[in-house]
Amino acid sequence: MEAAKKVAEEIFRVLPSLEGDHIVPKNAYEKALCESLGWQVFDNRYYDAFNGETYIEIKKGQGGMHFDMVRYAELLLGHGPAGTLTVFFRWKKKEKRIIEALVIDTKVLIDFLCIDKQYALLYLQVKARVPRGVNILASATAKDLREIACVRVDHQGLHLAPQAPLAPLLPCERALCKKRRQRQWTQHSIRNFLKKQRKSNDRKSIMYYLF
C-alpha cells in the first residue's frame, strides 16, 4: 500500500498538467506521461516506468481497458519483477486531459482476471503453439478497475480503498455461480420435459425410452 500511495501522490502533484495534445495518442503515450511525472521510461514487456522504488505498467483509456492474458500469465509464473503496480489513467477525449488515475496492485489485477497457475500455463502453451504471435485479451471496465484499485486519484485528492479490494476470485465466482444456475435450470428443464414426454414411467418397460 505504501508504494501505491507514493505513486498516487506523484500523480496528484502533476494531475492538472496532464492535458493537451500529448494525452491524445492511442499508442506510445507512456513517454509523455513519464516525462510529466518524472518517472524513468522503459520499453519493457512487463513495465513501462520506474519511479525510483517501483516498476509501473501504464494504461490509458476512457471507459475501460483490455489486458494481455499471456503477459499477465508470464508475470504470475515469475517472469519480470515482483511487486509491480498497474496505473490506469482515465481521460476525456474532448477535453484532452486525464481526469482520474487508478493505482492497482498487479497481483490483484491478475486475480481479477482469473489467472491461476493452470490457466497461465495454458496461455503460454497456446503462445508456444502458434507460428507467430497470439492475442488473448480480457476486458475490464473503469468501474471494475476502480473497485480493485488500492488508491484512486482525481482532482480532489487521493482516495484510499475503504477496505481490502474485492476478493481476488470474486469475478470468477460470479461467473461460476451464473453457469451453475444455468446448468441447474437446464437440467431441471430437461428432466421435466422428459417426464412429460415419456410414454411410461416404468424403467423396465420399453415405453419408458419412447417419446
Based on the domain organization, do 145 and 188 belong to the same domain?
A: no
Based on the domain organization, do 60 and 126 belong to the same domain?
A: yes
Q: Using 50, 70 and 90 to split pLDDT, how confident is the model at 180?
A: low
Residue count (the chain): 211
Q: pLDDT: is 132 or 159 the higher one?
A: 159
Kindly tell me if the per-residue pLDDT of 28 is higher than 70: yes
Low-confidence winner among 53-62, 84-93, 173-182 (lowest mean pLDDT):
173-182
Kindly tell me if the per-residue pLDDT of 127 is higher than 70: yes
Average pLDDT, the chain: 84
Based on the domain organization, do 71 and 151 belong to the same domain?
A: yes
The per-residue pLDDT for 204 is: 65
Domain of residue 138, CATH code: 3.40.210
Kindly tell me if the per-residue pLDDT of 54 is higher than 50: yes
The per-residue pLDDT for 29 is: 86
Query: Which residues, in sequence order, are CB contacts of 37 under 8 Å at separation 6+?
Result: 10, 11, 14, 49, 51
* CA dihedral for 74, 77, 79, 80, sign (positive or negative): positive
| Residue listed under C-alpha cell 488508491 | 151
Based on the domain organization, do 81 and 140 belong to the same domain?
A: yes
Based on the domain organization, do 53 and 76 belong to the same domain?
A: yes
The per-residue pLDDT for 1 is: 79
Dihedral-angle region of residue 180 (phi above 0 means left; psi in -120 to 50 means alpha; beta otherwise):
alpha
* Average pLDDT value for residue range 191-199: 58
The per-residue pLDDT for 93 is: 87
Residues of the domain holding 179: 173-209
Please count the structural domains in the chain. 2
Based on the domain organization, do 117 and 84 belong to the same domain?
A: yes
* Strand bridging mode 151-154 / 137-141: unpaired
Based on the domain organization, do 17 and 38 belong to the same domain?
A: yes
